[in-house]
Amino acid sequence: MPDAAPLWATVILPVALVSVAVVTAGFDAVLSAAAVRGRPGSPREVGTWAAAPLREAFRLLAQQPRRTIAADVALGRIGVVLVPVAAVLAGAVLPLGFRPVSDPAVGIVWFNAMEALAWAAVWLTGWGPNSALSLIGGYRFLAQGLAYELPHMFAITTAALGAGSLRVGEVVAAQDGLWFAVWMPVAFLVYLLSAMAMSFWGPFGHPLGRDTAGGAAMELSGVDRLVLLGGRWLLMVVTAAVSVPLFLGGGNGPLLPPWAWTLLKTALVLAALVAGRRLLPTLRMERYTEFAWLVLVPATLLQALVVAVVVLNR
Amino acid sequence: MALPAVLPGATQARLGVEAELRRRGWETAQAPAAADLLVVCGSPYPEEDRRLDTLLRTMSQPAARVDVTRPEHAAQALDEGFALLRDKAASRSESPLGHEDAAAGKHDAHPAKGTAPAGPAHGPHHEHAGPGHPGQDAPGGHSGHEAHTMSTVAGLPMADRAADRDGLSLDRLNLPLGPVLADWPAGLILRCALQGDIVQEVHVDRVPGPSDGTSFWNEPWSRAARGEPVERGAAARRRCAAHLDSLGRLLSLAGRPDTAARLRRLRDDVLAGAPSVHCGERLQALTKRVERSRTLRWGLAGLGRLSAERARQRGVTGPALEADGDVHDRLLTWSREARRAVRDFDDGRPLSTGRLIGPRGTVEGTVPPSQALLDVLPELLTGTELGCARLIVASLDPDLDEPVAVPATEGAHA
Amino acid sequence: MTEDIVFWVLAVLAVASGVMVFRFDSMARATYALLLSLLCVGGEVLLLGLDYLGVVIVLMMTIEMALMAVFMVMFMMNPAGLMPMSMLHNKKGAAVICTTVFAALATGILLARWPARRGRPPTDPTMSLGMSLMGPQMLTMVTLGMALFATIVSTVVLSTRRGRYDRFGDDLRTRPADDPVPGGGGR
């Protein structure tokens, strides 16, 4: 990719993504713990709940990895590592305010290509350990990919169409005054759905579902498990954060500096996803696929048509 | 992370362990890989005991096992387990090879073996080694299809070919589901033949249970059948808690973990004798949300249809017969019955010995109520996807604490 | 200099992983070796300054290979390619053909007299690519698109065993439809 990023930004990006992911996971852990244990007694208790993901991370670091018989260790390992790597690479086109770490001319396509890597990653993770339930989990993610990817592509294409550019920076600039979320609501909602689907999380967590004892992640322990589950949170943070420049006006906003607006909007989107996850049960793909192809694909196509007509008549 | 392994007849121990885990904020693992503490609820038979030890060896080090036979021992056992783990972690950091731990009593403390124990004892050879591995049938078991030699690779049986539902010849893998599996009826083993994630054939099996076959959930009605005086309120509480337990299992599988957790907390409060008004309000709020959820209905409707007519033929009594429909209808029935039971919490009159209908059906009959549920499983599961199969099993939730017998080793052929 | 290094690294990787497709005896590994090869090709296209094409190659090939792995493994349930097996047919012939074609193309590239560059690269290659595809070639693209779509639909129709009479009964009145697994569209 051209437009070499400033070196400091490449260092800061993963760190920033990880810290946002830790905070998000902590928030999610607090909501879950409140469901399991009832109202928290004190703010201190909330603090301990919020630190649960960190504690779990340290526990996994200390755990020895285990092997299964006749496993394809190489492919499984590649799959596990690909998840956070794809997330960070996708995050490279995230603008904090108006300037992404790198702003390639085809940033939106780049983002989409990196999420496609997650397809391969989850399947490989399920394939590696030579375990039936884990493989079923991997396959589920491919079915999920087939269900969510088309509406998702149409949704981000719609945003690019509205700006007349595939460059993320220009998409933000095009929303000065009116956010895309306002006049492309269908695309925005579909994007949010597919953000969860892509990070196989929440209602789209079937590939790692309880009914398969953890699905693709079932046989993972120690560092492998930490990398995969941590990578999942990273993916979630990145996709949620990309919705801000694509649909919510990026750094545009009164009073506050652009970076503050970006952070604030990202935090709101993440909070909405973490809270909204509790309203939906796990979506099994044999149900969702039909809905995606019969309802979402036509809806996003119509949305794109409306936007195209508006753009042509400007 | 704790991995509970629940044996038949250990419902009370399981409830104690669940409450204790909740109090500490420890998470329960879904599979051996993530866990470091194997919590065995109940007292296993020797063969079962050996299998659980094998399961322990497949867990990541450091790992420890504790056994809980009575609910009041849960706290002490978890403390001991935690101490064991701490000792092992400490000793491992001193010497990378680990050392024999002279543990006392029932606590197995396997020496940490380098990275992964890969001896002949280790490995996904049978059902306890995690639910995900192709299992060899236990000796005396059966393989549910043509007996031709299965090739093995690395000691694991390979898949066979068989026709699938679209007429293609696809690989068919034999996979036991259970007995150690999250949100799974204690002691149940389903020997499935899978093609992809389609369950083509099911054979019901079980872990041998306690000889007296007393079920915790049926206890008030069993006692009433024996002529002991039992208050209606106590029976109503037990029924309500049993349904909340089943609902928690089903909702957890359906991907509503928070609701499931709230229902389980309420279950424990109901059993602990919380005031009925307080229980009623919380139950009302929770069940209303569950019953109204459209997305839940959209996900569960149409799965595992069991009409009242067919249920009656197969001898099913209780909620599954009442529901007369699919998984979602059974969920609604449990939910409604739980709400109805709350009204009788403070009823001090004795239980009449007319028709004793427990949480899963008629108790004093010749056959335990869960027997019919188990018998109906193969026909409901054949041809479903694995995810749907799990939901169907959870929506019937057979209770293997009852003295149910598994059919002779003849798979239910589709 | 850097560009040269990147080019050669990607080129060697692409060819090496292409060779490994024939050497691996696990279907999954063969598939993903092919993907690695294609990703390297995508990288080379990026080096040429064709950002859009390069990234689209990465995007499409990843998804295609992920699906291809499914189709290859779909008929075998043994996870992790336990059975060392060869997915190749006509192994020798294929290897000969591949090597010959590769050698022929390489010699062609090396021996051809390449003309000196006359134009200048466009400022926005993505835009000009779109214009050339959708401008003068519009009719071709539209026809192609329709033909491909019709092919996909007819293949599915021909390959499916169940038609609407199986789903809705002989009088097409059975509701809900008799499906092995109910879908979520409420049909």
B112 or B31: which leads in pLDDT:
B31
User: How close C126 comes to chain A (CA, Å)?
Assistant: 8
Q: How confident is the model at residue B107 (pLDDT cuts 50, 70, 90)?
A: very low
Chain C CB contacts of A133 under 8 Å are none
Q: How confident is the model at residue B228 (pLDDT cuts 50, 70, 90)?
A: confident
Q: What is the pLDDT of residues C19-71, one digit of tens each?
A: 888 788 777 888 899 999 999 999 999 998 888 999 999 999 999 998 888 77
B58 in contact with A, Cβ within 8 Å: yes
Instruction: Give yes or no for a contact between B411 and B142, defined as CB atoms under 8 angstroms apart.
Output: yes
Range with the poorest average pLDDT among A33-47, A284-298, C85-99, C117-131? C85-99
CB contact under 8 A, C75 and B385: no
Instruction: Answer yes or no: is pLDDT of B413 > 60.
Output: no
Q: How many CB atoms lie within 10 A of CB A15?
A: 9
CB contact under 8 A, B196 and C77: yes
Question: How far apart, in whole angstroms, are the C-alpha atoms of residue C83 and residue B300?
Answer: 38
**Chain C interface disruption, residue of B173, B174, B328, B390, most C CBs within 10 A:** B173
* Mean pLDDT value across chain C: 84
Q: In this predicted structure, what is the pLDDT of residue B410?
A: 46
**Chain B interface disruption, residue of C25, C78, C160, C178, most B CBs within 10 A:** C78
Q: In this predicted structure, what is the pLDDT of residue B155?
A: 63
Average pLDDT of B161-188?
A: 80
Write down the number of H helices and E strands in chain C.
7, 0
B232 or A251: which leads in pLDDT:
B232
Chain B CB contacts of A222 under 8 Å are 60
Q: In this predicted structure, what is the pLDDT of residue C55?
A: 93
Chain C CB contacts of A113 under 8 Å are 55-56, 58-59, 62
Question: How far apart, in whole angstroms, are the C-alpha atoms of residue C77 and residue C65?
Answer: 18
Q: Which among A35, A69, A210 has CB closest to B124?
A: A69
Q: What is the pLDDT of residues B263-307, one digit of tens each?
A: 999 999 999 988 989 999 999 999 999 999 998 998 898 888 999
Chain B CB contacts of A287 under 8 Å are 298-299
Instruction: Answer yes or no: is pLDDT of B408 > 80.
Output: no
Q: Which among A66, A69, A283 has CB closest to B33?
A: A66
Average pLDDT of B394-413?
A: 74
Q: In this predicted structure, what is the pLDDT of residue B134?
A: 44
B120 cis-preceded (ω within 30 degrees of 0): no
Q: In this predicted structure, what is the pLDDT of residue B148?
A: 38
Average pLDDT of B93-97?
A: 51
Q: How confident is the model at residue A118 (pLDDT cuts 50, 70, 90)?
A: confident
Q: In this predicted structure, what is the pLDDT of residue B127?
A: 36
> How distant is the alpha carbon of residue A178 from its chain centre?
25
**Chain C interface disruption, residue of B145, B153, B160, B198, most C CBs within 10 A:** B153
Q: In this predicted structure, what is the pLDDT of residue C98?
A: 85
Q: In this predicted structure, what is the pLDDT of residue C163?
A: 81
Give residues with Cβ within 8 angstroms of A232, minimum separation 6.
A83, A199, A200, A201, A208
- C-alpha distances (whole Å) from C133 to each of C39, C128, C130, C139, C141 are 24, 8, 5, 10, 7
Q: What is the pLDDT of residues A35-86, one digit of tens each?
A: 888 888 888 888 888 888 998 898 888 888 887 777 788 888 999 999 999 9
Q: In this predicted structure, what is the pLDDT of residue A187?
A: 94
Instruction: Answer yes or no: is pLDDT of C138 > 80.
Output: yes
CB contact under 8 A, B22 and A222: no
CB contact under 8 A, A116 and C81: no
Range with the poorest average pLDDT among A3-12, A208-217, A236-245, A302-311? A3-12
Give one DSSP letter per residue of A86-123, joined into a string: HHHHHHTT-EETTEESS--TTHHHHHHHHHHHHHHHHH
C176 in contact with B, Cβ within 8 Å: yes
Q: What is the pLDDT of residues A129-171, one digit of tens each?
A: 888 888 889 989 988 998 999 999 999 999 999 988 888 888 8
Question: What are the two backbone dihedrals, phi and then psi, of residue B64, each rounded to the nearest 5 degrees?
Answer: -145, 160
Give residues with Cβ within 8 angstroms of A138, minimum separation 6.
A122, A123, A124, A125, A126, A127, A207, A215, A216
C161 in contact with B, Cβ within 8 Å: yes
Q: In this predicted structure, what is the pLDDT of residue C70?
A: 77
In terms of phi and psi (left: phi > 0; alpha: psi -120 to 50; beta: otherwise), the region of B206 is beta
Average pLDDT of A225-246?
A: 92
A146 or A3: which leads in pLDDT:
A146
Average pLDDT of A242-252?
A: 87
Question: What are the two backbone dihedrals, phi and then psi, of residue B360, each rounded to the nearest 5 degrees?
Answer: -120, 5
Q: What is the pLDDT of residues A16-40, one digit of tens each?
A: 889 999 999 999 999 888 888 888 8
Instruction: Answer yes or no: is pLDDT of B102 > 50.
Output: no
C78 in contact with B, Cβ within 8 Å: yes
Token pair belonging to A101: 């770490």
Chain C CB contacts of A286 under 8 Å are 181-184
Range with the poorest average pLDDT among B161-170, B175-184, B363-372, C83-92? C83-92
Instruction: Give yes or no for a contact between B45 and B208, defined as CB atoms under 8 angstroms apart.
Output: yes
Q: Which residue of B has its CA nearest to C78?
A: B159
Give residues with Cβ within 8 angstroms of B47, minimum separation 6.
none
Chain C CB contacts of B160 under 8 Å are none
Question: How far apart, in whole angstroms, are the C-alpha atoms of residue B173 and residue B158?
Answer: 7
Query: Between the CA atoms of A211, A216, A221 and A226, what dihedral angle is there, to the nearest 10 degrees?
Result: -110
Q: Which among A130, A221, A281 has CB closest to B255?
A: A281
Q: In this predicted structure, what is the pLDDT of residue C83?
A: 52
User: How close A225 comes to chain B (CA, Å)?
Assistant: 8
Instruction: Answer yes or no: is pLDDT of A5 > 70.
Output: no
Question: How far apart, in whole angstroms, are the C-alpha atoms of residue B86 and residue B93?
Answer: 11
Q: Which among B123, B262, B386 has CB closest to A69?
A: B123
In the complex, which subunits touch C with 3 or more CB pairs below 8 angstroms?
A: A, B
In terms of phi and psi (left: phi > 0; alpha: psi -120 to 50; beta: otherwise), the region of C169 is left
Q: In this predicted structure, what is the pLDDT of residue B282?
A: 92
Q: What is the pLDDT of residues C149-182, one digit of tens each?
A: 999 999 988 888 788 888 888 888 887 787 777 7
Chain C CB contacts of B154 under 8 Å are 82
Q: Which among A71, A110, A286 has CB closest to C80?
A: A71
**Chain B interface disruption, residue of A48, A69, A220, A274, most B CBs within 10 A:** A69
Q: Which long-range contacts (CB under 8 A, 24 or more apart) does B138-143 make?
A: B140/B409, B141/B191, B141/B205, B141/B409, B142/B203, B142/B409, B142/B410, B142/B411, B143/B174
Token pair belonging to A157: 């294409």
Query: Between the CA atoms of A295, A300, A305 and A306, what dihedral angle is there, to the nearest 10 degrees?
Result: 100
Instruction: Answer yes or no: is pLDDT of C133 > 60.
Output: yes
Q: What is the pLDDT of residues B119-159, one digit of tens each?
A: 333 333 333 344 444 443 333 333 333 333 445 656 666 66
User: How close C79 comes to chain A (CA, Å)?
Assistant: 5
Q: What is the pLDDT of residues B23-82, one digit of tens each?
A: 888 888 888 888 889 999 988 888 888 989 988 888 888 889 999 988 888 899 999 999
* Mean pLDDT value across chain B: 79
Q: In this predicted structure, what is the pLDDT of residue B159?
A: 65
CB contact under 8 A, C59 and A116: yes
- C-alpha distances (whole Å) from C139 to each of A66, A150, B230, C135, C153 are 58, 25, 84, 9, 21
Chain B CB contacts of A56 under 8 Å are 1, 27
CB contact under 8 A, B265 and A132: no
